[in-house]
Structures are given as structure tokens and as C-alpha cells.
Structure 1
């Protein structure tokens, strides 16, 4: 079957996108392509709409991923255009959340670099049952002793109430160690750094869910310099993905028209 009558064979459609004929069959089975016609001999017959569907799917893939692109095209071919657009909206919303987390990471780096203006301390004492440590073995100046800092010392350094540190710990943002025998919290340098990051981001009204991945990245990177490089790389990746999503959305719009 030639394409002189406006019809395309499986191999013709495969060549359009550089695919194998089996991939084209798989795409039809998955709903990426509209159902193909059949010859009397049972061979698939495709047309211009199948070619457009295939090119649209390929345009969606880089920005939305294969899974979402497949679900979008299947919804379109099932007549559920609203459902297809809802999938597109959800993908853009997820990308926005990534940008929010990226902005939080940038603000955290600014705080660590000392560019975040220090706010006046807001403390009202320490919780019951745990000494504040300000006149303990670590000294009143807040320097790290051999066992780290107590909760009151960290609160004084960061400029928050000890109750805030406990809330952040309950939320999984801080993970201080515990002193043997007494069970008192013991904060090392990394814990103090994390507390400073949390305070800076909370002042910018970031939610715990936005702060948690920043801390995870910081701990994984091992230093603010490494995190800065990772943040810059992620920013470039998000920009590239946004452009790909715009291209894919444009192709989908043309296909729907």
C-alpha cells in the first residue's frame, strides 16, 4: 500500500519519527495514535491524522515525559479533551512546585552566605526538663564544646525560641543527637547550619514541605558551594524543561485544532 492516495503504511509512519514499525504498533495499541484502518488483508492503514498524532506525542515527550504524554494522547483520542488538559495543568503545577523549592534553596544559600539580614532574637526561655546550656560546660559565648551545643545555645545563636526548634524537629527538619545518660539534645555544626536555613526560609513563609528538600540537598551536597552548583544546574534544567513543555503544549493545541 503506497501513500499516493494519502494513506500511510506502518513503515511510512515509522520513518516520519525515526521509529521501528513495532513501536508504531505499540503506540496505536496504547492509544497514542487513533485506531488505524485495515486493508482487506488485515494490514494497518494510517493517514495524516496519525502522522500528526505521532508528531504531537513526540513533541510532548521531552517536557512532560513519556507516561504523561501517553495519558494525554489517550485522553484526547477517547474524546476526553478536558481530562487531557487537566493532565497538562497538573504537570505545569508540579513544575511550579519545583521552582518554589529551587527559590527556597537560593534563599537558603543567601542566608548561609551572610547576606540574609539578621533578625532580632525572639526568645522566651527554654522548655521544661532540658537545660538551656548558656552557663553550662560549653560556656556563655555559644561556642561548640566537645559534645556540641544544647538547645538553648542553638536558640540563642539562631534567634528563635527553643519551642521552634522542637517543632522543626518534630517536622523532621532537624535531627539533633542525644546525650547519653541525660537524653538532652546535642546540636553539631551541621545542625546549627540547618536551623539557620529553616529560620531563614520560614521568615520567607516557605512551608515545611518546601524546606525539607532544601535540607536534603544540602546534606547530600555536603557544602553550600556544592549545593549552589546543584541549584544552578537545576535552574538551567527547569528552564529547558519549561521551554520543552511550551513547545509540546503548542503542538497539542495545533493537534486539537
Structure 2
């Protein structure tokens, strides 16, 4: 049985031994054996596990990676595969909505988005449903000065115009690729002044990022499958 010291694996994966210890403490890898002098050492299955964690983290969120690795450790491999598959579905949905809103911007047509009949003004819950976000997100964007609401004279509820819904749709689509508030404000100003080429460029960058994330996810799945096969072999 081939064995490795923590430093050997850390060097191979270009991480610190502290990072390896953190993965171990998070219960992501099989139980680590000890030498007679109580020093930890790793075997091939640990090397596979560490390699899989590092590969998955490039394309998936940390909670998903950690939960999938814990599932495999407990021989719940099918559940782990369904978990990462759900994340791939989510990125597909994200790509579709970015493409839909980019098309609307290119054609200047927001009225038929998702075949929803839009009124001149809508309440925050309606705007959130159309944009696919929580109402708390819209309130946060309003506090940041990105969108603006009016008040219904009858009940005092927030209401949003079609132009503000357009901003909400743009923010919801680019929130994962446009990191700084000032950058978002500049983009929204561009849409107000009909500088659509800059908005389109931002959406194209968002699509490129999603394409790259998909590539990294598939590479992570390849490592995940290798690890599952090795894990099942070791436990058969």
C-alpha cells in the first residue's frame, strides 16, 4: 500500500498542510491512520479524496462540495451525484436567463419576458417573482441606490415601474459577475442612456464565465467519478 506524508500531498496539490488538516476536520476524507509514533499518514484513497475536493471547488460552491464528499465517505455515492447534478441544472437555468435578458436588451422588448403580463407598476413580490430573486435582494439593491421604488398612495406599499424592473432583471443576471456597486451603477446608467453595447458586453462576459464554470464542473465530475470508483473498490 502506497503511503504519503501530509507534506507530499500538499506539495502535489499546491496547498498547505493546514488546508489538508481543515479538510480532514470537516470530515471530507476517509479516516486517517497513524503511525506507531502517532504521526498521521495518507494512502491512495486519501490522495484521491484530496484531489477530488480541489477539483470540485473550482466549479462548485463550498457547501455543495463538502456535503458531496461527506456523502461519499458514508457510501452514499448516488446522493452525492444527484447533489452535483442539481448544481449543473442551476447553472443551466442561470445561462438561460442571462441569454433571455440579453435578447430582450438587444431587441428592446421587456414586455413579453416569461410571457408575464406586466402592468405599469408592480409590487415588490411581483418584481421579485419575475426576476427570480428574493424580495430582500431588491430591498438591498434599493438601499444601495441601484433601483428606486415609488409608494402606492392607497396602502403605502413599494411599487416599481417597468424601467425599474428592467434594472432589477439586469442586476439579478449580472450579480455574480459584476462585483462592485459602482460598476453596477455605471451599467444601469448606460441602460438609461441607451448605451446598449456596454450592457451587451457585460452579458457576454457573464456567459463566458458560465461557460468556464461548466467546464470546471465537468472536470470536477471526472475526478469525482474516479474517486467514487476507487472508494467502492476499496470498500467492496
- The question of 1:238 aligning with 2:221 is answered no
Are positions 1:213 and 2:169 aligned together? yes
Q: In the alignment, which residue of structure 2 is the partner of 1:247?
A: 219
Structure 2 residue runs without a partner (length 5+): 129-146, 175-183, 230-236
Aligned mates of 1:216, 1:12 — CA distance in 2: 43
Q: TM-score, normalised by structure 1?
A: 0.61
2:61 is aligned with 1:89: no
**Deviation of the 1:255 alpha carbon:** 1.4
Considering only CA atoms, is the larger Rg found in Structure 1 or Structure 2? Answer: 1
Partner of 2:126: 171
**Using the alignment, how far apart are the partners of 2:27 and 2:62 within structure 1?**
13
* Number of residue pairs matched by the alignment: 190
**What residue number does 2:29 align with?**
33
- Cα distance, 1:82 vs structure 2: 2.2
Which residue pairs with 1:17 in the alignment? 13
Deviation at 1:212, TM superposition (A): 4.8
C-alpha displacement of 1:27: 1.3
User: 1:38 is paired with a residue of what secondary structure?
Assistant: coil
Q: For structure 1, which runs of at least 5 residues remain unmatched after alignment? A: 120-159, 198-210
Give the CA RMSD over aligned residues.
3.7
Q: C-alpha distance in 1, partners of 2:124/2:42?
A: 60
Q: CA deviation at 1:216?
A: 5.3
Q: Could you tell me which of 107, 112, 118 is aligned with 1:111?
A: 107
Shift of 1:86: 2.2
Higher helix share: 2
The answer to whether the 8 A contact 2:106-2:200 is kept is no
Q: Which runs of 4+ in 1 moved over 6 A?
A: 173-176
**In the alignment, does 2:26 pair up with 1:71?**
no
Q: 1:174-193 counterparts in 2 under 5 A?
A: 177=150, 191=161, 193=163
Q: 1:33, 1:179 → 2: CA distance?
A: 56
Q: C-alpha distance in 2, partners of 1:45/1:16? A: 15
Kindly state the Cα deviation for residue 248 of structure 1 after the two structures are TM-superposed: 0.6
Alpha-carbon distance in 2 for matches of 1:172, 1:68: 29
State the alpha-carbon separation in 2 of the partners of residues 30 and 192 from structure 1: 47
8 Å Cα contact 1:194-1:215 kept in structure 2: no
Partners in 1 of 2:124 and 2:14 — Cα distance?
53
Higher RCO, 1 or 2 (CA under 8 Å, sep at least 6)?
2
Contact 1:63/1:248, CA 8 A, preserved across alignment: yes
Determine the C-alpha separation between the residues in 2 that align with 1:101 and 1:85.
25
For 2:162 and 2:33, locate their aligned partners in 1 and report how far apart those are by CA, in whole Å.
67
CA distance in 2, matches of 1:179, 1:73: 50
Give 1:215 deviation, angstroms. 6.2
Query: Which residue in 2 is equivalent to 1:61?
Result: 57
